[in-house]
Chains A and B, each alone.
Chain A
Amino acid sequence: MSTLTRSLPLLAALLALVLFPLFGSSFYVGLVTRIIIIAIFAMSLDLLIGYTGLVSFGHAAFFGIGGYALAIAFQDASVIHLWQALPLSLFAAALAALVVGWVSIRTSGIYFIMITLALSQMFFYYFFESPRYGGDDGIFLFLKPVLMVGSEDILNLDHENNFYYFALSCLVLGYLFLVMILQAPFGKVIKAIKVNEHRVRALGYSTNGYKLVSFVIAGTLAGLAGFLEGAHTGYINPAYMSWHESGVCIAIVILGGVGTLYGPIVGAFIIVLLQNFLPEFTEHWQLLLGGIVIAVVLFLPRGATSLLPRIRSLIRMEKSISLSQEEKAKGDADG
């Protein structure tokens, strides 16, 4: 029963997302597509921050590499086959995560934060200063990936709604994949590492191996998000991997609720919507955004989704109070 009641809001939210394109205009469908992509990105970071205890401040690098792999390999292609492009992006992001992870995993705490930041800057500057890949202008892509069955493209991603459903499927699959590995032995071990790495090592685990695998999985998922973003906007530039993006991604994870997989999705909705609509109120919207983030850090460190159980328990408390009063009344009546 408890798993059902817990997954009920999730299923309702999924249903709402599935039905959304039937009612939303194409502008909003595009916006929610972007939110979904950012949600995948943030969810992958939560695997590191929320479950493995690795505060990576360079996660945007893998997002960018996923996009760049697509753009570099196919900028002059006459057709982009999904079955070629997607694995290439995932592989590139995984490889980059393997290298960055291998170097940074041996450090911890503040060093880990700083080294992931600095290594991601290395990728940023590489693309920023390389004229071959467009420098800070980036690369344009004029085609969407296709999945040919016979002579028919069954995805037809040029249609905003189709892209929306494609991204949504990626989100759902990514979510289920993470749920699965977190329930598997691997997930138990990384959660234990987050709590007390020293103890896990004393139990006989080579913890660095687990952290590295977690890092690579997260990097690969971020690469998936970057691939989707590149394909969706048809444009990829170094700003995708700037440390601002990494910072915003951390903000999304915390704002939504660190250590829950649905939290980052909620966080992605909040932040992307704020980024879109705050500028309509004021030119200086970053001031407001900064203020909101500070308020969250100070007053809501477990994120927006932590409000839900609190509200629930409040309701339950009231119920149990009224129950006990009833019982008391009953007892009095009996006596």
Chain B
Amino acid sequence: MELSFYLVQLLNAVQYGFLLFLVASGLTLLFGIMGIINLAHGSFYMLGSYLAYWLTGVTGNLWLGILLGLPITLMVGYLVERFAISFLYKRDHLYQVLLTFALILIFNELQQILWGSDVHSVAIPSLLAGSFQLTENQSYPVYRLFISAACIAIACGMYWVIQKTRLGMTIRAGASNREMVQALGINVNRLFAFVFSLGVALAGFAGMLAAPVDSVYPGMGENVLIISFVVVVIGGTGSIKGAFVGAMLIGLVSTFGKVLVPEMASVMVYALMAVILLWRPQGLFGRAA
């Protein structure tokens, strides 16, 4: 049992890490390019989960739910950027924290109004409902493998966009030097709106993927948000690579922590961050201030 048990945990850790990466990569880009701390990012993860729950209920199919849900998250992202976030670009972090905190209150309340305070679950699509038998009493659900695969596909797609396309070049330039992008005559407003909507869609997508394995409940975005902050801090703000490494580290520490030292599991994640910051105050891949 030993080895396969750890294998299952390892797979879980990686799958959790990938989901965190989707949320954290948006967060780190928002900060790197737009200089925005977005506390409401977790709400978009929650939004994704609730959309998956609702639309799967309506259409009877998770795939259709995700297909319909993604444009909704993009649109929500665009509206939030236009009507709230765009007022904050030149403001102190203090006000960004406060305004996006207020957004959380609003999103939580809207969620209560639209979907109530019950805990819901989403059925795993029948296509992926099985599980692999590893040993006699160890198995691994196919759907979890699918989550990892989907995240890898997204990560590769992001890598391609960011490394190979013109848009990606602009994003990279923006993350390393925000003033320069503006000096280069790029339409900053459009870029910001795009990046923000993209970040929202990524977080929402993560929420949709996670809905069938975790339950859907009020306030679910907030745990994800704070862990994602830890990921961003560990990786270094503005660094996609950092977000990836940070997400995997956190995935491993929190999954194995829960198995090996259950009473200290949540604390360990934060302790890890503190140690890394003592060693490198700008995070693993962050630029020195």
Contacts and interface: CB of A to CB of B under 8 A. Distances in A.
B29 interface: no
Given A106-B281, A243-B226, A250-B98, A290 B109 contact: yes
Contact of B270 (A119, A250, A291): A119
A283 to B, nearest CB: 8
A335 interface: no
Q: Give the most central of B87, B233, B271: most A CB within 10 Å.
A: B233
Contact of A287 (B87, B105, B271, B283): B105
A254 interface: yes
A206 interface: no
Contacts of A55: 93-94, 97
B194 to A, nearest CB: 22
A115 B273 contact: yes
Given A111-B277, A298-B87, A293 B98 contact: yes
Interface string B98-125: 1101111110111011000000000000
A130 B267 CA distance: 11
A103 B263 contact: no
A122 B91 CA distance: 29
Given A111-B277, A294-B103, A118 B97 contact: no
Given A103-B277, A294-B103, A114 B97 contact: no
B106 A118 contact: no
Q: Give the most central of A119, A122, A301: most B CB within 10 Å.
A: A122
Interface string B62-102: 00000000000000000000001001000101110111011
Contacts of A109: 93, 289
Contacts of B271: 122
Interface string B264-289: 01110011011001100111000001
Q: Which 5 A-B pairs have the closest CB atoms?
A: A290-B105, A125-B266, A122-B270, A293-B102, A290-B106
Given A118-B229, A119-B274, 17 more contacts: A106-B277, A108-B289, A110-B93, A111-B283, A113-B93, A118-B273, A121-B266, A122-B266, A125-B267, A125-B270, A247-B98, A247-B104, A250-B94, A293-B98, A293-B105, A297-B98, A301-B91
